[in-house]
Amino acid sequence: MENDIQFNNRLNLQDLQASVQQVKAELSKVIVGQKKVADLLLTALFAEGHVLLEGAPGVAKTITAKLLAKSLDVGFSRVQFTPDLMPSDVLGTSIFNLKTSEFEFKKGPIFSNIILTDEINRAPAKTQAALFEVMEERQVTMDGNRYKLAAPYMIIATQNPIEQEGTYRLPEAQLDRFLFKITIDYPNLEEEIEILTREHELTMPKLDKITTSLSQEKIIEFQSVINQIIVEPHLIQYIAAIIANTRNNAFLYLGASPRASIAILKASKAYAAINGRDFVTPEDIKQIAIPVLQHRIIVTPEREMEGITTVQIINDILQSVEIPK
């Protein structure tokens, strides 16, 4: 975090920063390392975005999402995605009430504040499609009636790498609705030792270590503060130039959509705020470009066979695109 330089902000971000530090302190009671993951999760929360966590089984994707929800004073629900999961299992269903002789809508687990959709890529396409309206419009339409979802609203999805057995590739239309895709890697040797040491000394359930530190009202207040963060016109041009480069890149089969450029704009404002600034810098944009773009672009088959990844291409784009003056 960028705390070594003091700025004279026109916005008071001290309360927001203190809350961010408190939540990160709670997460660190259980999670070893993964500081960038915590930053990006909080950035997504304040930017009103959804997050896709990807990693091999056992790297704490699910527990990270549960710990974040536990540190927030908001509603939480979890949906375990399976090959036989139906849309009604997620959204809810209409049930006939014999007393009133009318159908009543019984809300599904999607009606909460923080939703953990665990192993999302193990459910079939029709269940994936059920989330489209929820993620983009924050509402559910059922039997001609619209049901709004309460703020704050955030879906944290976990998935195993698509090469693993029993997984379905998420459709591009759904991937585009996630603000970030965060890749969680294996811990290094020192972190592995720390994980084992903590597990050996564990005396209570991990979730019991976490105390609630951020209220629903505060989250909504901080989300409104994010909208007031300054983005200079030349940085808006910079974001647009990065996105345009993905569409004209010979290594890419599919470039980024306008939703991606809006995502970079919103996320860079939130990232600046949690770093204590009321203005966005080029470095903010560079820091969040990979998690915003890596799931939205597709490498050409030829380049993919050569082992070139989306992350490599994004880094090349960031190095080649000049910041407009």
Which residues are 279's β-sheet partners?
230
Chain segment 155-186, per-residue pLDDT in tens: 999 988 766 666 777 888 888 999 999 998 88
In a domain, 223, yes or no: no
* Residue 1 pLDDT greater than 50, yes or no: no
Q: Are 260 and 147 in contact (CB under 8 A)?
A: no
Chain segment 276-312, per-residue pLDDT in tens: 899 999 999 999 999 999 999 999 999 889 989 999 9
Chain segment 3-56, per-residue pLDDT in tens: 545 555 677 788 888 898 998 888 888 888 778 888 999 999 999 999 999 988
- Location of structure tokens 């599919």: 254
The answer on 96 and 168 residing in a single domain is yes
Cα–Cα distance between 106 and 147 in angstroms, integer? Answer: 11
The answer on 318 and 200 residing in a single domain is no
* The CA-based dihedral angle spanning residues 65, 67, 73, 75, taken in that order and rounded to the nearest 10 degrees: 40
Residue 78: which CATH number? 3.40.50.300
In a domain, 233, yes or no: yes
In a domain, 127, yes or no: yes
At 216, is the secondary structure helix, strand, or coil? helix
266 vs 6, residue with greater confidence: 266
**For position 266, what pLDDT does the model report?**
96
Last residue of a domain, one of 214, 243, 261: 214
Residue partners of 251: CB distance under 8 A and separation at least 6: 299, 300, 303, 308, 313
The answer on 188 and 159 residing in a single domain is yes
The answer on 33 and 153 residing in a single domain is yes
In a domain, 209, yes or no: yes
Cα–Cα distance between 255 and 245 in angstroms, integer? Answer: 8
The crossing angle, in degrees rounded to 10, of helices 258-274 and 216-226 is 110
Containing structural domain, residue 105 = 23-214
* Residue 96 pLDDT greater than 90, yes or no: no
Cα–Cα distance between 248 and 242 in angstroms, integer? Answer: 10
Strand bridging mode 252-254 / 298-299? antiparallel
**For position 178, what pLDDT does the model report?**
95
- Location of structure tokens 């999607």: 110
Chain segment 177-219, per-residue pLDDT in tens: 999 999 988 888 998 898 899 888 877 777 778 888 888 999 9
The answer on 170 and 57 residing in a single domain is yes
Chain segment 73-93, per-residue pLDDT in tens: 899 999 999 888 999 999 998
Last residue of a domain, one of 214, 240, 264: 214
In a domain, 5, yes or no: no
What proportion of the chain, given as a percentage, has pLDDT over 70? 96
In a domain, 10, yes or no: no
In a domain, 2, yes or no: no
Chain segment 109-158, per-residue pLDDT in tens: 999 999 999 999 888 888 888 899 999 999 998 888 899 999 899 999 99
Residue 265: which CATH number? 1.10.8.80
The answer on 42 and 112 residing in a single domain is yes
Last residue of a domain, one of 184, 214, 244: 214
The answer on 174 and 241 residing in a single domain is no
**For position 164, what pLDDT does the model report?**
62
CB atoms within 10 A of CB 99: 6
The answer on 322 and 196 residing in a single domain is no
The answer on 200 and 275 residing in a single domain is no
Cα–Cα distance between 116 and 65 in angstroms, integer? Answer: 7
The answer on 109 and 250 residing in a single domain is no
Structure token digits, residue 27:
């997460």
The answer on 178 and 323 residing in a single domain is no
| Number of folded domains that form the chain | 2
**For position 127, what pLDDT does the model report?**
87
Q: Of 244, 311, 235, 220, which Cα lies nearest the Cα of 268?
A: 235
Mean pLDDT, the chain, as a whole number? 88
In a domain, 176, yes or no: yes
The model's pTM is 0.89
Q: Are 239 and 264 in contact (CB under 8 A)?
A: yes
The answer on 278 and 203 residing in a single domain is no
Q: Of 10, 23, 12, 11, which Cα lies nearest the Cα of 1?
A: 23
Q: Is the four-CA dihedral 318, 260, 279, 218 of positive or negative sign? A: negative
156, burial (CB in 10 Å: exposed 0-12, middle 13-18, buried 19+): buried
